[in-house]
Amino acid sequence: MEKRLSNKVAIVTGAGSGIGKETSLLFLEEGAQVILADINETTLEETFNIAVQKGYKDNVVSIPTDVAKESDIVNMVNIAISEFGHLDILFNNAGVGGAFGSIGDIDANEWDHSMAILLKSVFMGIKHASVEMKKNTNGASIINTASIAGMSGGGGPQAYSAAKAAVINLSQTTALELGEFKIRVNSISPGAISTPLLNGLSEDWDERIKGLQPIEELGQPLDIAYAALFLASDESRFVTGHNLCVDGGLTVDRTGLIKGMRESAQEELGDMRISGMSMGSTGIEETLREIED
């Protein structure tokens, strides 16, 4: 029986951990040749080694990549072509928590850096991947990791939420433009998923999530990987411009989401005012400042 991604070449950014790691391994299992990209060379090597141990040595290549740099994006796409001859799937998944704090305390440079990683990288990925994908007579698929934080106010820090809202819209607008080339562009909006990014914010999400959503447990990276697999495969040939929400029902009642986020922040910080930038699982140290009145 033919695998779902047989003869397809995929790029996965943020492949070193969490959603990117699980998606990369699932794509390989389903027959794809995969370019692994991540700024964290240590975790990137770990994913690569797992892939090799599973028998995918000839189907996987790893590239240290800073998705905020256009030259790295161009290199990533070029390597996919030079190694495997074509490009069918791009999963723009890399991200960070980004700038946080009260709006009056957020550093403008950290805001810009957040947007470069969370939004500009998606633009650049679509830009350069689509040039190669237009050469495919059977079409291609671009998948962008958005977030439920981009679907309403109160679901995350301002910079992160604004960037993810833009990712959803960018997916829709580019779906309109690229449809004539049979290039599908969709986004996935994860809810509370057990990843290094989320777990770094709090250690008791399993308890926090109870009462906030119909399925009272944290989602797993593999839940998002399976959603990405559907959007990457020919099974979704008639799906484009869609934002697939995978959140255990968390956004069904948005008041619970907002209340839960606020309570979490209040418990963690108390009366302290802080600002800074979370770098997630990149291996780059976050910045943290206590704000004094």
Residue 16 contacts residue 281 (beta carbons within 8 Å) = yes
- In the numeric block, the tokens 């709006």 are attached to 103
Q: Map residue 288 onto helix, strand or coil.
A: strand
Q: How far apart (Å, rounded) are the C-alpha atoms in residues 61 and 57? A: 8
CA 162-167-172 angle, 5° bins = 130
Run of H or E residues at 277:
strand 274-278
Q: Map residue 239 onto helix, strand or coil.
A: coil
Run of H or E residues at 260:
helix 254-269
Listed as own residue / partner, the contacts of 255-261 with beta carbons closer than 8 Å and 24 or more positions apart are 256/211, 256/212, 256/213, 257/148, 257/152, 257/154, 257/155, 257/212, 258/152, 258/153, 258/154, 258/155, 259/212, 260/208, 260/209, 260/212, 261/154, 261/155, 261/156
Q: How far apart (Å, rounded) are the C-alpha atoms in residues 224 and 45? A: 22
Largest CA distance in the chain: 65
Q: How far apart (Å, rounded) are the C-alpha atoms in residues 259 and 35? A: 39
Residue 248 contacts residue 215 (beta carbons within 8 Å) = yes
160 is catalytic: yes
Per annotation, catalytic residue among 160, 183, 184, 281: 160
φ, ψ of residue 188 to 5 degrees: the values are -120, 130
- Cβ-count burial of 127 within 10 angstroms (0-12 exposed, 13-18 middle, 19+ buried)? middle
The residues that are catalytic are 160
